[in-house]
Structure 1
Amino acid sequence: MLRIACLVVALLTATVTHADDLSARDGWMVVPTGKSHDQLVSDVKAAVKENGLIVVTQAGPTKAAAARGITIPGNRVIGVFNNDFAVRVLATSTAAMIEAPVRFYVTENADGTATLSYKTPSFVFAPYTEGGTELLAIAQELDSRFDAIAKAAASSQ
């Protein structure tokens, strides 16, 4: 019984600490970089500000896991939006505001580099058809800003 318990603990630890790096999927942009996790997080925040959006939320399990004695790769979700977009989205669809803030995802890769990922705003807001062409136009405007943010964050030194 002790052998089985040890095997289960070993398998769970391996699963939690060694997940695969992110890869492309429908509706996502995935931008591998040569930067460290901490540097990419910092560069994303700076690029968000430079592109007229605001960091509204941040969350990540890395530090809390470390406090529990568990080492996991760097992992941060950064929610961005601004009040102008919020008011405009609400004018088209109350339900669509559940998607705000729209998020960037910074993950540390096995080799110590970091990847920036995000669901495109057009993909995020696509289910809210009641918003019509106005919501589509807002989402496309956000797509442009998210693209600019990703390019700036991935390339800045």
Structure 2
Amino acid sequence: MRIILSVVLSLWASLSLADVTAREGWVVIETRKPFDQLVDDVKAAVSANKMGVVTQAGPTGAAKARGIILPGNRVIGVFNNVYAVRILALSTAAMIEAPIRLYVTETDDGATLSYKTPSLVFAPYMAEAGPDLGLAASELDAIFRAIAEAAAG
């Protein structure tokens, strides 16, 4: 029993300290905002930048219903039909990447906002779709940067 308790406590400790680290093609912004506030600020920034929240998912609520407490964790899928139609005309395969996801994670000091840049997300389809996909991805990079800066600010 002590071994099981020790393993469970060790796992919980690692979860509570876990955070997203920067990696190639990712933007990671640490904030002191509480998790729920950052989630709300992301949604407001998405709307202000004429994009839409298409999906939301996270294990926190379902885990809590099972008696497991996890740090806040929310994936917010963001896109806009204008870009969907535009990208679909260039590459049917590329549309599997939509919506592009923003990731909010609770930390000991607040919450972190991270995402893969649209240029990274759409990179595998560039040869097939041509330069117009690169242009759309670049525009989306600027929009997602504006969303992130507004939400984290």
Q: Tell me, yes or no, whether TM beats 0.5.
A: yes
Matched positions, count: 152
Contact 1:77 1:105 survives alignment (8 Å): yes
Please state how far the C-alpha of 1:39 moved relative to its aligned partner.
Answer: 0.3
* Structure 1 segments unaligned to the other structure (5+ residues): none
Q: Tell whether 2:112 aligns with 1:120.
A: no
TM-score by length of 2: 0.92
Please state how far the C-alpha of 1:10 moved relative to its aligned partner.
Answer: 4.1
Q: What is the match of residue 81 of structure 1?
A: 79
Please state how far the C-alpha of 1:3 moved relative to its aligned partner.
Answer: 5.0
Q: What is the match of residue 150 of structure 2?
A: 152
* Structure 2 segments unaligned to the other structure (5+ residues): none
Q: 1:93-112 alignment to 2 at 5 Å?
A: 93-111=91-109
TM-score by length of 1: 0.90
Contact 2:90 2:133 survives alignment (8 Å): yes
Q: Tell whether 2:133 aligns with 1:135.
A: yes
User: Which contiguous aligned blocks of 4+ residues in structure 1 show a shift greater than 6 angstroms?
Assistant: none
Identical amino acids, percent of aligned pairs: 64
My pick for the range that moved more, 6-15 or 144-153, is: 6-15
The root-mean-square deviation of aligned C-alpha atoms, in Å, is: 1.5
Q: What is the alpha-carbon distance in structure 1 between the residues aligned to residue 33 and residue 123 of structure 2?
A: 32
Q: 1:2-21 alignment to 2 at 5 Å?
A: 2=1, 4-15=3-14, 17-21=15-19
Please state how far the C-alpha of 1:92 moved relative to its aligned partner.
Answer: 0.7
What CA deviation, in whole Å up to 9, does each residue of 1:109-142 have, x standing for no partner? 123x011100000000001021110100000010
